[in-house]
Amino acid sequence: MDDEKVLTRHLGAPGLTTVGGYEKVGGYQGLRKAIQMGPEAIVAEVKASGLRGRGGAAFPTGTKWGFLPKDVFPRYLCVNADESEPGCFKDRVLMEEFPHQLLEGVLIAAYALQVTHAFIYIRGEYRFQRELLERAAKEAYRAGYAGKGVLGTKWDCELIVHGGAGAYICGEETALLNSLEGRRGQPRLKPPFPAVKGLYGQPTVVNNVETLSNLPYIVTEGGARYAALGTEASPGTRLFCVSGHVERPGTFEVPMGKTTFRDLLELAGGVWRGRQFKAMQPGGGSMQVLGPQHLDVPLDFKAVAEAGSSLGAGALVVMDDSTCLVDVASRLVDFYRHESCGKCVPCREGTYFESELMHRLEAGIASRAELAELSDICANMEGRCFCPLGDTATWFVMSALRMFPEEFESHCGAGRCPVRAGSEVAA
C-alpha cells in the first residue's frame, strides 16, 4: 500500500541503527523541537494525535500522562519492551531496525513528563536486542541526547536498559515495576495505579515500545497529521504482525480503521499452499478467535470489539483448514499455565486444570462431561483472577468452543484427534 508510514518511514535508509545514520533522515529533530515546545505543548500534541497505547490495552497515551499528580517528583518513565504476547514481534522489529527512533521517542516522553530516569525493560530472551539498545543508548549519551544537561539544557536524563529474565507476566505493568525493583515479577493491586504510586512508590508512566516510537513523527509533523492517517475513532497507523498459515509472514504498517483483516491477509500473500482460510486470532495469544465472516472487519478498536475480539498488541495469526482449534487452544493454555505467576488461586489452579483437560480432549480421551467442565473452569477464572493473565487464559478457548462447538465435541471419546487424523497426537 502507498499510504504514508510513520514507524517504518525510514526503512532502508543506510546506517539507521547508528546515531549518525538516524540524524541523516532527520533523527533527533523531534527531540530538539520538543525541548523548544516545552512539556505542556508536547502533551497537548500527543493528545491531539489521538495516540492510544500499542501494548494491548489501547489506553489514550496523552490521558495516561495526564494522570501524573502535579509537582510530585521524582517521577519515572518505564518503557515496556517485554514483548512476549504469542504472535507479536513488532517491538522486536522496531528495536532492531529503528533503535534510535525508539530512544528519541523515550526522550521526548521523558522531557514531556519531566523525568530524570527512563528505564527500558526488555525481556530476557531479547538478549541480542538488549545489546543493540545498550549500544544505541551509549551513542545517544555521547551525542548529548541523554545524560547530564541534554542538548545544553538543565535537564538530566538517564537511559537505563534493563533486561528481564524470562517471565511473560512482566509485561503486565505492575509486575514489570516489581521486577524492575529487583523483586519477583508478580502484579500489584490496583489502585493505586502506577501514575500515582509506581516505581519506588513514585508517579510512573509505563508505555509500550511502539507507542513511544510514534512520538518523533507526532512532534515533528503534528498530532493532527498523525491522527488523519487513520480514522477518527482509530487514529494513526499501526504495525501489525501477520503469522501462521500465510505465504509471506511479516510486519506491515497500515492505517488504522481504513484497513481490514482481509487487506492484512493479502499483504501477507494470502493463505499458504492454496488452502482455505479457517480462523484467525487477532491481537495475540490472549485474544478471542474470529472466523471467515469477520475478514472484512476494519482494524478499528470498536469494530473488532463488536466482532468479539480485540486488536490487542497488533498480531494476526492465520489458521488454514487443516488446523485443529483444540490443538491451538491446548497449546495456548499450556503457555498460560507455564507463565501463571502463582500469586492467585483461580489462575494458578485454573490454568492447571484447564491444561490437563485440554490435553485429554486433544488426545480424544475426554468425555462430554469433561467438556462441560471446561466451561465451568473457565467461568470460575474469568473476572476472578488478580490480573488479566488468568482472564485471558480462557478467552481463546471459550471463543473457539463457541465458534467451533462440533470440533470440540468430535474429540470427546474419539481416541485421537479427529481433525489431525493420521498425525501423531501427544497427550
Q: Which residues bind another protein (CB under 8 A)?
A: 74, 83-89, 91-92, 117, 123-128, 131-132, 135, 158, 160, 162-168, 179-186, 200, 241-245, 249-251, 281, 285, 315, 317, 319, 323, 327-328, 331-332, 335, 338-339, 341, 426
- One-letter identity of residue 240: F
Q: Which helix or strand (DSSP H or E) is residue 20 part of?
A: helix 19-24
The least CB distance from residue 48 to another protein, in Å, is 32
- Residue 83: CB atoms within 10 A of its CB come to 26
User: Smaller CB distance to another protein: residue 7 or 227?
Assistant: 7
User: Smaller CB distance to another protein: residue 258 or 331?
Assistant: 331
The least CB distance from residue 89 to another protein, in Å, is 5
User: Smaller CB distance to another protein: residue 104 or 339?
Assistant: 339
User: Under 8 Å CB-to-CB from 392, ≥6 apart: which residues?
Assistant: 285, 286, 287, 336
To the nearest 5 percent, what fractions of the chain are helix, strand and coil?
45, 15, 40
The least CB distance from residue 1 to another protein, in Å, is 18
The least CB distance from residue 84 to another protein, in Å, is 5
User: Smaller CB distance to another protein: residue 109 or 180?
Assistant: 180
Strands laid side by side in the 158-163 sheet? 158-163, 117-122, 76-81, 204-208
The least CB distance from residue 53 to another protein, in Å, is 19
Q: Cα(404)–Cα(245) distance, rounded to whole angstroms?
A: 19
The three cell numbers locating residue 198: 509506581
User: Under 8 Å CB-to-CB from 234, ≥6 apart: which residues?
Assistant: 256, 257, 298, 299, 300, 301, 302
The least CB distance from residue 35 to another protein, in Å, is 24
Q: Cα(255)–Cα(264) distance, rounded to whole angstroms?
A: 11
Q: Which helix or strand (DSSP H or E) is residue 97 part of?
A: helix 90-97
Q: Cα(52)–Cα(50) distance, rounded to whole angstroms?
A: 6
The least CB distance from residue 62 to another protein, in Å, is 26
- Comparing CA positions, the residue from 176, 62, 183 lying closest to residue 119 is 176
Q: Cα(213)–Cα(239) distance, rounded to whole angstroms?
A: 11
- Residue 291: CB atoms within 10 A of its CB come to 17
Is residue 164 within 8 Å of residue 185, measured between CB atoms?
A: yes
The least CB distance from residue 227 to another protein, in Å, is 28
User: Smaller CB distance to another protein: residue 335 or 408?
Assistant: 335
The least CB distance from residue 324 to another protein, in Å, is 10
Q: Cα(165)–Cα(373) distance, rounded to whole angstroms?
A: 35
User: Smaller CB distance to another protein: residue 248 or 368?
Assistant: 248
User: Smaller CB distance to another protein: residue 85 or 172?
Assistant: 85
User: Smaller CB distance to another protein: residue 302 or 338?
Assistant: 338
User: Smaller CB distance to another protein: residue 124 or 222?
Assistant: 124
- One-letter identity of residue 58: A
User: Smaller CB distance to another protein: residue 196 or 425?
Assistant: 425
- Half-sphere exposure (Cβ direction) of 275: Cα atoms closer than 13 Å: 16
The least CB distance from residue 377 to another protein, in Å, is 21
Q: Cα(269)–Cα(55) distance, rounded to whole angstroms?
A: 26
